[in-house]
């Protein structure tokens, strides 16, 4: 893990403007992504996991802005890039796949047209060469009969197949980093296993780094080398995957793991976390998990715990047992 990181996120802060007031959504996120590793960013809706990913590529929607911190790709600050420089970063160096594959593809263009578009925009090749390359890409992601399928439209592909096309498109320019934002949430479980395996396999072949964004801790445990748990726009816990699942330190991680239903056991009751996840903009002073935490003290409500380093892990909690 001690290689030079391909991506460093330093104290990243993102806020949305609501009623002319800034509402922080990502509140100081730092991590580094080593080459050839998979980092899973785990969080619930509203935790800032997608917003943080979009800000790496500077694809934030109107009304959202990076209000602090920097994103360093191989030492270069992406957040200071001009639009022209960004075009080279996007796709060639960092690319992204999204949750709903069918909605990410243009319904009125064939798969071939959409794949060659990327290639022609970035490479000096002829249309025919681009088509050949596109067919190879489709085969690489496990789509058979690629030549024929290039002329088909997205509606002729199933959800899983569309996500394969998205992956082919994302990998067309051999990026160093792939950001996968809930790539399997819209898919069935049997298809989920296929897609996750495919991403993992391509990642290992190309020694690519992957930021795998998910709300599913169990899935994260199966793909990631490192896990980062987000809650209310803050990193609550970060640890190598095996350590995190062997001994979760933060009460939120513990609660989340305990509350998952399992196919192996049938408890009388699930140990649920009480309360609701925070809404962006509320609870600024203390720990965002304080209202739901079983170990909460007055200190937690008044001040935000710092992110403490314990060996290879980090945890944001005052609780004695995490020390």
Partner 1 sequence: MSACVEITHLYKTYYRHKWLFGKGSAVPVLKDVTLSLPQNRVLGLVGESGCGKSTLCKVLLGIEKPTAGTVLVNGQDIAGLDRAGRKKICRHMQVVYQDPYSSLDPRMTVRQLLSEPLDIHGLHPDKKQREQFLQDLLTSVGLAPSYLDRYPHEFSGGQRQRISIARALALDPQILIADEPVSALDVSVQAQILNLLSDIKKARKLSMLFVTHDFAVARFLCDDIAVMYKGRIVEMAPADELFAKPLHPYTQALLRAVPQVGRPLAKPLAEPGADVPNGCAFAPRCERASEKCRQAVPPFQAAAPQHFCACVQFTKGDVQ
- The contact set with partner 1 (CB under 8 A) reads 44-45, 158, 160-161, 188-194, 196-197, 200, 215-219, 221-223, 245, 252, 255-257, 259-267, 269-274, 276-277, 279, 292
Element (H, E) at 131: helix 127-140
- Residue closer to partner 1 by CB (options 222, 297) is 222
SS3 track for 217-242? HHHHHHHCCEEEEEECCEEEEEEEHH
Find the shortest distance in angstroms from Cβ 188 to partner 1: 4
CB of 280 to partner 1, least distance (A): 13
Cβ atoms of 10 and 70 closer than 8 Å: yes
Give the separation between CA 31 and CA 207, rounded to whole angstroms.
19
Cβ nearer to partner 1, comparing 5 with 251 = 251
| Cα(81)–Cα(51) distance, integer angstroms | 19
Nearer to partner 1, 174 or 201 (CB): 201
Least distance to partner 1, CB of residue 246, Å: 9
Helical packing angle, 159-171 and 127-140, nearest 10°:
120
In the complex, what is the shortest distance from the CB of residue 23 to partner 1, in angstroms, rounded to a whole number?
A: 17
Residues 86, 226: Cα–Cα separation, whole Å? 27
Please count the other Cβ atoms lying within 10 Å of the Cβ belonging to residue 311. 8
Identify which of residues 206 and 257 has a Cβ nearer to partner 1 in the complex: 257
Helices (H) and strands (E) in the chain, counts: 12, 12
Q: Is 297 exposed, middle or buried (0-12, 13-18, 19+ CB in 10 A)?
A: middle
Q: Give min distance, CB of 214 to partner 1, in A.
A: 10
At its nearest, how many Å lie between partner 1 and the CB of residue 191?
A: 8
User: Among residues 126 and 262, whose Cβ is nearest to partner 1?
Assistant: 262
Indicate the residue among 49 and 131 with the shorter CB distance to partner 1.
Answer: 49
* Alpha-carbon radius of gyration of the chain: 21
């Amino acid at each position: 893990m001690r290689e030079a990181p391909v991506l460093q996120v330093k104290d990243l802060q993102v806020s949305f403007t609501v009623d002319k007031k800034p509402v922080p959504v990502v509140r100081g996120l730092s991590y580094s992504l080593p080459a050839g590793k998979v980092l899973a960013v785990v969080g619930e809706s509203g935790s800032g996991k997608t917003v943080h990913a979009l800000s790496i590529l500077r694809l934030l929607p109107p009304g959202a802005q990076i209000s602090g911190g920097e994103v360093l790709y191989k030492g270069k600050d992406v957040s200071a890039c001009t639009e022209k420089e960004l075009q080279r970063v996007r796709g060639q160096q960092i690319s992204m796949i999204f949750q709903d594959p069918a909605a990410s593809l243009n319904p009125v263009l064939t798969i071939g047209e959409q794949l060659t578009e990327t290639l022609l925009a970035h490479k000096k090749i002829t249309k025919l060469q681009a088509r050949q390359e596109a067919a190879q890409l489709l085969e690489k992601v496990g789509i058979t009969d690629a030549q024929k399928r290039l002329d088909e439209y997205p509606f002729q592909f199933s959800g899983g197949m569309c996500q394969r096309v998205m992956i082919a498109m994302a990998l067309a320019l051999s990026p160093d980093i792939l950001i996968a934002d809930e790539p399997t949430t819209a898919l069935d479980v049997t298809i989920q296993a296929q897609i996750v395996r495919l991403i993992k396999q391509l990642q290992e072949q190309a020694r690519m780094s992957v930021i795998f964004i998910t709300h599913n801790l169990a899935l994260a445990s199966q793909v990631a080398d490192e896990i980062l748990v987000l809650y209310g726009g803050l990193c609550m816990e970060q640890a190598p995957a095996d350590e995190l699942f062997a001994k979760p330190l933060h009460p939120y991680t513990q609660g989340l793991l305990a509350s998952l239903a399992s196919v192996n056991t049938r408890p009388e009751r699930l140990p649920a976390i009480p309360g609701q996840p925070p809404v962006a903009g509320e609870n600024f002073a203390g720990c965002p998990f304080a209202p739901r935490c079983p170990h909460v003290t007055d200190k937690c409500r008044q001040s935000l715990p710092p992110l403490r380093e314990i060996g290879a892990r980090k945890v944001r909690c005052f609780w004695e047992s995490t020390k």
